Chain A
Amino acid sequence: MAGNIGRVPILSGYTSLYTKSSRTGEGMPMLCQNCNAEIPKRAPRCPKCGKAVVKPQKNIYPIAIAGAVISFVGGLFPAIQNSDSLKKFTPAYGLMNYEQPFVWYLFMLLLVASVILCAIKLEKWSIPTTVLAAVVYGVTYNSICSRHGAPGMENGLAGIIVIVGTIVGVAGCFLDVNKNAQAKKRQRGDLDFQYTGNKTVWQRIYIYRGFYLMFLPVLIFLFIFNYLPMAGLRYAFTDYVSGQAPTYVGIKQFVDMFGLSDLSMLAKEQFSRAFVNTLRLSIVKLVLNTFMAVLVSLLLNEIRNIYFKKTVQTIIYLPHFMSWVVVASIFKMLTSASDAGMINQLLISMGAIEKPIEFLTTPSLWRGVYYLVNIWKDTGWGTILFLATLSGISPDLYEAAQIDGANRLARMRYITLPALANTIITVFILNLAKVMNLFESVFVMYNPSVYDTADVLQTYIYRQSFSSGAANYGYTTAVGLFRSVVACVLVLICNKASKKVRGRGIV
């Protein structure tokens, strides 16, 4: 590709132009609007005519879209609700449980239309849809008040949020349009960074129809198995106990979760503890696992006997393939305070201790054991990426260093570690996005003695859902939704960090 600068026929032989870059939207070469020459990646000017390349404002209208999203969130809140502090939200009435469900669909449809219109550069049309959504809400609110308004009922937060959303959406649209206009004015005469020829979206889809066809099954699969199940998220706004139809209660579950209602202090305490434990256990585990994987990789890299190296690698990879149930059983057997606990028995027989140490039932010790088990299980697997990176380091560098008198430690410090740095950060960032997904490893190892330090969000949700016949799935869904939102934010942060560190994102 690098030597193929010049006029590029877009329609014929297009497959040869498709680069392997995974960067979104960069599968096509950038062409000069002036002379249609291909412009190399990150080139400041067209190599043929010399026109400057300017990165324009992104084709996103963040304020307008934020307005639509705010309005949407407003629709989840109750329009009117019970004002009794003990029975807050029961009953509650809003768009989600309005007697005419099509109104809720219409409200959503209008707001989704607003977002899509912004995305496809028809931002002006998003104004009427956003406003219309507010009108739909207003009419519904009046209807709800006339049907369910009674002494003891008060206004919910929906109205205020929808109004704020509408104002932000409409005003934001003008602001975004203005901002883009200014940017366009500044770049007038310069090259459009995203210009890829005179083809419309539909023409390009047609050209690459083969690829889209191949993508279709994946899209359908994703939709059915990843997106459709998200329909269950709606239960976070309901009271939902076994055998009963879910009843809309607005944000009651979230209010309980954060301890903002009467008698919810226990729920708040349990939830907060689980949340803090999730972050603490995950992050420490991540740091330790990454550190150990790097350390072991460096040591493995120093082994010269290939057979010994392969044997060690195989042995340390094996624990990764064992189920958590088996791993937990092994470590329970080793660390148990009963007569079956091998470590305790060994220490006692050596005279190091008199009474067995309760590794698994002492809160302060449990975490240590948990980290240790994780290191044992995942360190080997974690070395794969690092060893791959290490194998890519040129032996010339080591030879040169050796000639310069660098010993083994110095070579590791000045050649190996810097070469690994990028991979370490990448692995760290990729794993950081998964810190909220902590379940099996804790579930198989914790017990009531160590709930204070071991209970994490997913085990909390599990106990709440299945430990009795009195589960409120609305509450557990709300906790799960909160966990997902935090995880989503973490993924976005990691994506940003990844872009900064390695030039491309993870999503």
Chain B
Amino acid sequence: MKNVNKIIASLLAGSMVFSLAACGNPEGSGSNTGDTTGDTGAATAEPSTEATPAAEDGGAAAEVVKPETIKVMWDGTVFKEGENYAEAFYEALDAALGLHVEWVRPDHSGYGEQVGIAFNDMSTIADVVLLPSNYYASYAAQGNLWNMTDAWNNSDTANSGRLTEAAPLIIEQWYTAGPDGNKGIYGMYPARGNGCITYVKAAWAKNAGYESADALPTDWAGYQEFLLAMKEANGGKAPVLAAGILNAGEAPFTNYLPEFYQSAYPDFYKNADGVWVDGFTQPEMAEAMDRLAWANENGLLEKTIFEGPSTSDVRNKFFADDFGVFTYWAGTWAYTLKSKLNEAGLDDELWNLPAIKELGGYMERLSPMICITSSCQNPEGVFKYFIDPILDGGDVQMLWMYGVEGVHYEWNADHTTIDGLPSEATAGTDKESKTQKNLFEANLKIANFSGTDPYVPADAVIDESFNMFNENCAPAPELNSSEEYRANFSDLMDKKVEYITKVTQGEMTGQEAIDDYVKNYGAISDAVAASFNN
């Protein structure tokens, strides 16, 4: 019996050993990089697997094969099943495009993780992936994405004459370095990235003696006084809360506490001289951390901020009247915040705080990017028949912006404007809310409709909020990627968050934190910066 056990054990051990044997990969890395005619990627339909000559002459040739099926991976930013009649949108889009879109919709909150996992197997990856913005530069540099520069430049949208005034600046942000080091467009998005502005509860501010939005502070000193007064006048409650002391999971990392960070940026960025530097080592960062420490010392930061709350936790606390100053997304979110406060029986008046002088402007992030993966067998076809029509100025753009007529919206009698219909999740309930948008909102689109945009916002606060952002925004720092950056990003960002937290909690000063960082990890920081500058 013992021998039998030994034989079984040996066989099992053998199987484990042989499992290691599969490692051999003579080709090494990059077998898929940028090779649109590779042998991977079985996701597209048969016709789309045909290589076409279109891209060779800049995409100008007309011989682009229309794919029958396109596999698309998307987060929760378009209508989801069970929430707002996603099936109707899918069906209408298929009909409008004349092809079948196969949707892969991971849970929105864990989408970034799912994207990382999906890219591990390029043979099953979707043709089109909505990529979080901070993945964009890395994935482009690694060769995971198809270079769509020529396709975009020759596209109907780019040459339609419908692009908005802001579009050239946004398109400029799409350029990033590819695997060959040359910059190109590896993804697009039909709208601006938007950004966060600071909302102030009017009731809290009035309690503190600020009678109107015009009385709100315009510089850091005024903001300090304002926060202290808010605390004093509202039962000693800390007026500020955000989802973490630094939003380390998504660029631009400082957008939830802009008044405190001001011009400081903890990641690598290109400075005014065009040199890439580690933002954490710059003097502005020390000052920013000291400002956070001051706020914490004076009880102005709601303590939950250190416990790693999610954005949802923070919103719920805002609706529970636990704090009064909240930096969050401009546009439709202004209406949502107001509605929720109203539902909670609170004063729903919110004032938009203009960017204080030291901040200059609220940061406009790079939007998530719609990318074609390097495994896609027919990228030209996917671009022409799926991506380009998103901004066709007609039916398809209507679908992406507002959904399906009769399901998500209806035309008014004069057929010039539309009204949102109740969303699937709230229809028939006492908390019924009307559909405002699908993927992107009217204020942010980068290409106009051929006619007039028929959208009428449900509430003036949406426009007010967006206008405030528009008048007070500045583009987020450019993203970059290198082997050194990718290898150290996670560890470095962890460390930076730790330092910022320690300074905020009063364990060290901002300058001490930077000195310690430079002393211990300066070599790594320098190596990353050097990799960008070289």
Q: How many whole Å from A169's CB to the nearest CB in chain B? A: 15
Q: Residue-by-residue, is B193-213 near A (CB-CB < 8 Å gives 1, otherwise 0)?
A: 000000000000000000000
Is there contact, CB below 8 Å, between A234 and B23?
yes
Is there contact, CB below 8 Å, between B303 and A96?
no
Is there contact, CB below 8 Å, between A59 and B6?
yes
- Select which of A98, A223, A361, A466 is within 8 A of B113 by beta carbon: A466
Of the stretches A32-40, A262-270, A375-383, A497-505, the one at the interface is A262-270
A371 within 8 A of B: no
B275 within 8 A of A: no
- Select which of B10, B131, B143 is within 8 A of A116 by beta carbon: B10
Is there contact, CB below 8 Å, between A468 and B306?
no
Contacts A263-B523, A451-B498, A467-B493 hold; do A97 and B307 have CB atoms under 8 A apart?
no
Closest A residue to B246 by CB, please name it: A448
Closest A residue to B504 by CB, please name it: A449
Closest A residue to B131 by CB, please name it: A469
A248 to B26, CA, bound (A): 9
B345 within 8 A of A: no
Q: Residue-by-residue, is A222-263 near B (CB-CB < 8 Å gives 1, otherwise 0)?
A: 110001101101110111111111111000000000000011
Which of B7, B17, B244 counts the most chain A CB atoms within 10 A? B17
Of the stretches A22-30, A307-315, A390-398, the one at the interface is A22-30
Q: How many whole Å from B117's CB to the nearest CB in chain A? A: 8
Is there contact, CB below 8 Å, between B29 and A471?
no
B352 within 8 A of A: no
A289 within 8 A of B: no
B161 within 8 A of A: no
Contacts A59-B6, A97-B28 hold; do A451 and B494 have CB atoms under 8 A apart?
yes
Q: Which residues of A contact B21 (CB under 8 A)?
A: 101, 104-105, 108
A336 within 8 A of B: yes
Which of B25, B26, B144, B497 counts the most chain A CB atoms within 10 A? B25
A447 within 8 A of B: yes
A269 to B19, CA, bound (A): 31
Contacts A338-B322, A448-B244 hold; do A472 and B487 have CB atoms under 8 A apart?
yes
Q: How many whole Å from B344's CB to the nearest CB in chain A? A: 15
A37 to B15, CA, bound (A): 40
B132 within 8 A of A: yes
Q: Residue-by-residue, is A137-151 near B (CB-CB < 8 Å gives 1, otherwise 0)?
A: 000000000000000
Q: Which residues of A contact B32 (CB under 8 A)?
A: 243-245
Which of B19, B492, B493 counts the most chain A CB atoms within 10 A? B19
Interface residues of B in 480-534 (CB under 8 A from A): 481, 484-495, 497-498, 501-502, 505, 520-521, 523-524, 527
B377 within 8 A of A: no
Q: Which residues of A contact B484 (CB under 8 A)?
A: 263
Q: How many whole Å from B275's CB to the nearest CB in chain A? A: 21
A452 to B139, CA, bound (A): 31
Contacts A266-B492, A449-B501 hold; do A112 and B18 have CB atoms under 8 A apart?
yes
- Select which of B16, B116, B493 is within 8 A of A466 by beta carbon: B116
Is there contact, CB below 8 Å, between A28 and B139?
no
Q: Which residues of A contact B134 (CB under 8 A)?
A: 468-469
Q: Residue-by-residue, is A203-231 near B (CB-CB < 8 Å gives 1, otherwise 0)?
A: 01100000000000001001100011011
- Select which of A59, A248, A337 is within 8 A of B303 by beta carbon: A337
- Select which of B4, B28, B481 is within 8 A of A247 by beta carbon: B28
A495 within 8 A of B: no
Q: Which residues of A contact B274 (CB under 8 A)?
A: none
Q: Which residues of A contact B109 (CB under 8 A)?
A: none
Q: How many whole Å from B19's CB to the nearest CB in chain A? A: 4
A448 to B504, CA, bound (A): 12
Q: Which residues of A contact B486 (CB under 8 A)?
A: 241, 470, 472
Q: Which residues of A contact B520 (CB under 8 A)?
A: 265-266, 269
A213 to B237, CA, bound (A): 69
Closest B residue to A270 by CB, please name it: B491
Is there contact, CB below 8 Å, between A243 and B25?
no
Q: Which residues of B contact A28 (CB under 8 A)?
A: 1
Q: Which residues of A contact B4 (CB under 8 A)?
A: 201, 204-205
Is there contact, CB below 8 Å, between A469 and B13?
no
Contacts A242-B139, A242-B144, A263-B527 hold; do A72 and B14 have CB atoms under 8 A apart?
no
A399 to B495, CA, bound (A): 63
Q: Residue-by-residue, is A451-494 near B (CB-CB < 8 Å gives 1, otherwise 0)?
A: 11000000000011111111111000000000000000000000
Q: How many whole Å from A89's CB to the nearest CB in chain B? A: 13
Which of A97, A204, A242 counts the most chain B CB atoms within 10 A? A242
Closest A residue to B302 by CB, please name it: A338
Contacts A201-B4, A237-B23 hold; do A243 and B374 have CB atoms under 8 A apart?
yes
Closest A residue to B33 by CB, please name it: A244
Q: Which residues of A contact B26 (CB under 8 A)?
A: 97-101
The chain A residues found within 8 Å of chain B, CB to CB, are 24-28, 59, 72, 76, 91, 95-101, 104-105, 108-109, 111-112, 115-116, 119-120, 194, 196, 201, 204-205, 219, 222-223, 227-228, 230-231, 233-235, 237-248, 262-263, 265-267, 269-270, 332, 336-341, 356, 358, 360-361, 446-449, 451-452, 463-473
Instruction: List 3 tightest A-B contacts by C-beta distance, closest first.
Output: A469-B135, A243-B144, A337-B303
Q: Give 18 A-B contacts (CB < 8 Å), ordered by A residue.
A: A27-B1, A97-B24, A108-B21, A222-B12, A223-B12, A238-B23, A243-B139, A244-B32, A247-B29, A263-B484, A265-B521, A336-B304, A341-B303, A466-B112, A468-B134, A469-B131, A469-B132, A472-B487
